[in-house]
A = this chain, B = another copy of it.
Amino acid sequence: MAVMARSSDDTSARPSRSGERRLEELVGQIAFVDHHCHGIVRGPLDRTGFESLLCEADAPGRWHGTLFDTQVGLAVRRLCSPLLGLAPHAPAEDYLARRAELGSDEVARRLLGGAGISEFFVDTGFRPDRLTSPDELAACAAASAWEIARLEPVAEEVIATHRADDFVEACLDRLTSAAVTAIAFKSIAAYRVGLDLAPDRPPADEVAAAATRWAAAIERGAPIRLADETLIRFLIWTAVDLGLPIQFHTGFGDADADLGRCDPLLLAPLLRATAGGGVPIMLLHTYPFHRHAGCLAQVFDHVFVDVGLAVQNVGSRAGQVVAELLELAPFGSVLFSSDGYGLPELFHVSATLFRRALSDFLDEGVEDDAWSERDAVRIAHLIAAENARRAYGLDDGGAGRGSLA
């Protein structure tokens, strides 16, 4: 079990509500595996730029006022200010001024270094031009990084280069290459066609026909954006063949997605079709459908779940959300992810709040005599890191396992 010394600047100190917090110190020392995140933005950010990365709103708007007036905004001011040498709850302006003064590299070093994460699995498929690479991200935290290969951009690159000719073969080639170094694949089917996917592997002729239709649409001027259910299923089944874990965006995201199409329950037929196939399926985020996800994790052995993204967004309510996930999801199926994107603050807030939520959950169980301290310690290690290490084969070399042989 990897153990990591925490920042001596304890940003989560608070009065105890109910006696001893036996698990808090222990959980604070476990190095987390962050099984889904993105790179961060380098360089200065003005207030609008910062707020635009703070939550799932595109930008502060006319009606709501500043996006600092959110749970995540308050959590950043509370938890990150001390690492930047400010008092907790520093006003947003002071926080941003101090951030500019220190410079983005130093801020990243402090916040990522203080997050207690030893491995980052980094989705490189969205705005790679703007964000740090996995190695750059890991360097800020003296940690390790692995790449998650997004499926949809691979098809978009192929269609841009080849049009429909050899579409299938070219996708296979690229995904096979990606699988050599990536630790997992990821699909954003939720954003593109919704999660109500047919469960079967699409026949080759249907895939070819869909690729031809897509290429023709692009010829007529359509943007290169994969939103065809058949092609997305083709990518997913190819990923299954390659044997790497597959992550799915589920639950809330930005305004581009219809949240009603992102309920992980819609994936049930595909989960049934992939059960027993040897490939774990990771349901990301899941909020506000995290209880639905917990049900799926119980009945499908190959399903893993997290409440990444939600934890930082719900701020003071993280404990409740995590506890709800832990109602039905077996303890062996729950993972940590920050879904950090753009701002190093999001990694720090997410890790701090998840640590607290997990240790509170376990401490309360010990206090109520629902489980023993020994069990609680074991569960903490499972959720913080061991489940991810096992599901992703991290101790067997992780990435590079995928091949179509």
Contact = CB atoms under 8 A, between A and B. Distances in A.
Interface of A: 13-15, 17-18, 55-58, 60-67, 69-71, 74-75, 77-78, 88-89, 252, 254-255, 258-260, 263, 265-266, 268-269, 272, 275, 280, 287-288, 291-292, 294-302, 304, 313-317, 320-321, 323-324, 326-328, 330-333, 364-365, 367-372, 374-375, 379, 382, 390-391
Contacts of A327: 71, 313-315, 317, 321
Given A63-B332, A328-B313, A74 B260 contact: no
A166 B343 CA distance: 56
Given A63-B333, A292-B259, A78 B382 contact: no
B254 A258 contact: no
B259 A265 contact: yes
B317 A259 contact: no
Nearest to A59: B301
Could you say how many copies of this chain the assembly holds?
3
Contacts of A55: 298
A71 B391 contact: no
A227 to B, nearest CB: 15
Contacts of A69: 330-332, 379, 382
A254 B271 CA distance: 13
A272 B269 CA distance: 29
Given A302-B63, A316-B368, A331 B258 contact: no
Contact of A254 (B299, B320, B367): B299
A326 B71 contact: yes
Given A62-B302, A287-B291, 20 more contacts: A13-B369, A14-B369, A15-B367, A15-B369, A60-B301, A63-B302, A63-B304, A63-B391, A67-B330, A69-B382, A71-B328, A255-B272, A258-B269, A259-B268, A260-B265, A260-B266, A260-B268, A288-B292, A314-B327, A317-B323
Contacts of A77: 371
B382 A301 contact: no
A19 B108 CA distance: 38
A384 to B, nearest CB: 15
18 contacts: A55-B298, A56-B299, A57-B330, A60-B301, A61-B302, A63-B280, A63-B333, A64-B297, A66-B332, A69-B379, A71-B326, A252-B299, A287-B291, A288-B292, A314-B327, A316-B370, A316-B371, A321-B327
